[in-house]
Amino acid sequence: MMFLREFVRARNDRAPRLGAGLCAFALLVSGCGSGSATRVTASPMAAVSRTTPAWVEEEVSFRVDGMTVYGTWRHPARPGAKVPAALIIAGSGPTDRDGNSAGLSGIDTYKTLAGVLSAGGVASLRYDKLGSGKTGLGPYASKIADIGIAPFEHEARAALDFLARRPETDKRRLTVIGHSEGALFALLLATKSRSKTGVSSLGLLEPLSRRYLDILSGQITTQIKAQQQAGTITGAQAAEVEDALARAVASLRANGTVAANLPGGLSNVLSPANAKFLSEVDREDPAKVAARLKAHTPVLLSCSDADIQVSCDDVEHLAAGLAKAPAATDFIRLTGINHVLKEDPSRTAAHYTEPLPFSSQLKQALPAFVRAS
């Protein structure tokens, strides 16, 4: 879903094992783009459920590179004046439009975010990216190793075009909000999209802020050291996994390949099946991408002292890139907010699925930011 979270406890042979559970960023299997032209269409009107007196959530779909992508278009129930709108791009892994994945329901980050936006008068589109929710893998389930960064970029571009075509949308006020890994795709959409639709502003919430493999390596190394200090693995075992990790990263960066059956469960995260995606996404330093933004682009940037997956030090690196654009950055340092934007100062991932309050700071800041931008 978002980032690497934990090692599985050692087996009886005490070999360190890398957990695959909430793995790093988009280390899921998902579809790859064919390179064909993007075609954006609305699905037939599905059942529209009234969620508030003023807003409805409509099931929609659009086509891109031969794949049907499903989403939720939250908009005013009655026709009227055009409203600002936001595209919400999910974090990594098989995270669906609401912020959940198989076996991990109740997180609801993006569903809640859509409600926060509409309470402030902002419509939104959130979608099931490839490998998640109703979109699923489609015809790409048998072509996992062909998956690169392109399909995720193409989905985001098609989603933005779809959002702009809604009659309720004010095209002059289109914001792209990316959470975690989604922030990188928000930046790529704003800086190199071939879409004719303009991005008015960006929301980068607990964003991926350094190169992908650097983040992965840091997280894995931290987990290895924690196991060694706890006495669950030996120093020799830790050294073996760290050496294999360094060689795997070097190979991915040099030629886009990685060996199979890496020790210590590393293959749960680094494998031939996801080598193409990892090597391609690692080429993008979020700070360098941010530096290519159009000057004075409004950006809402957040980090939290309670986020164990994105540190404020990392986000400072991204902020430095935004300063080079220069972007009009509003950098909000949250207090006691976990990675999935819930009020939780525990600095653990144990409470992600609990019905905790959404960040009160973001509740105030996000709708106002989108309207003003």
Q: Note the pLDDT tens digit of each residue in 210-262.
A: 999 999 999 999 999 999 999 999 999 999 999 999 999 999 999 999 999 99
Residue 206 sits in the same domain as residue 228 = no
Q: What residues of the chain score a pLDDT lower than 70?
A: 1-53, 193-196
Residue 242 sits in the same domain as residue 353 = no
Residue 229 sits in the same domain as residue 346 = no
Residues sharing a CB contact under 8 Å with residue 222, sequence separation 6 or more, in sequence order: none
In this prediction, residue 18 carries a pLDDT of 41
181, 92 contact by CB (below 8 A)? yes
Would you say residue 23 lies in a domain? no
The backbone torsions φ and ψ at residue 42, rounded to the nearest 5 degrees and listed phi first, read: -90, 145
> Where does a domain end: 246, 270, 294?
270
Residue 168 sits in the same domain as residue 196 = yes
**The total number of structural domains that make up the chain:** 2
In this prediction, residue 6 carries a pLDDT of 28
Residue 303 sits in the same domain as residue 315 = yes
> Where does a domain end: 270, 295, 315?
270
Residue 250 sits in the same domain as residue 330 = no
What number of other Cβ atoms are within 10 A of residue 360's Cβ?
12
In this prediction, residue 344 carries a pLDDT of 98
Strands (E), 216-359: 298-304, 328-334
Boundaries of domain holding 224? 212-270
Would you say residue 319 lies in a domain? yes
Would you say residue 165 lies in a domain? yes
Residue 297 sits in the same domain as residue 351 = yes
Residue 102 sits in the same domain as residue 246 = no
Tell me the longest C-alpha to C-alpha distance in the chain: 67
Residue 190 sits in the same domain as residue 227 = no
In this prediction, residue 13 carries a pLDDT of 35
Nearest to 273 by CA among 139, 144, 142: 144
In this prediction, residue 165 carries a pLDDT of 95
Nearest to 191 by CA among 331, 322, 27: 322
Would you say residue 31 lies in a domain? no
Question: Global pTM?
Answer: 0.87
CATH number of the domain within which 299 lies: 3.40.50.1820
In this prediction, residue 192 carries a pLDDT of 84
The radius of gyration of the chain from alpha carbons, rounded to an integer in Å, stands at: 20
User: Distance of CA 84 to CAs 122, 191, 325, 361, Å?
Assistant: 5, 21, 24, 20
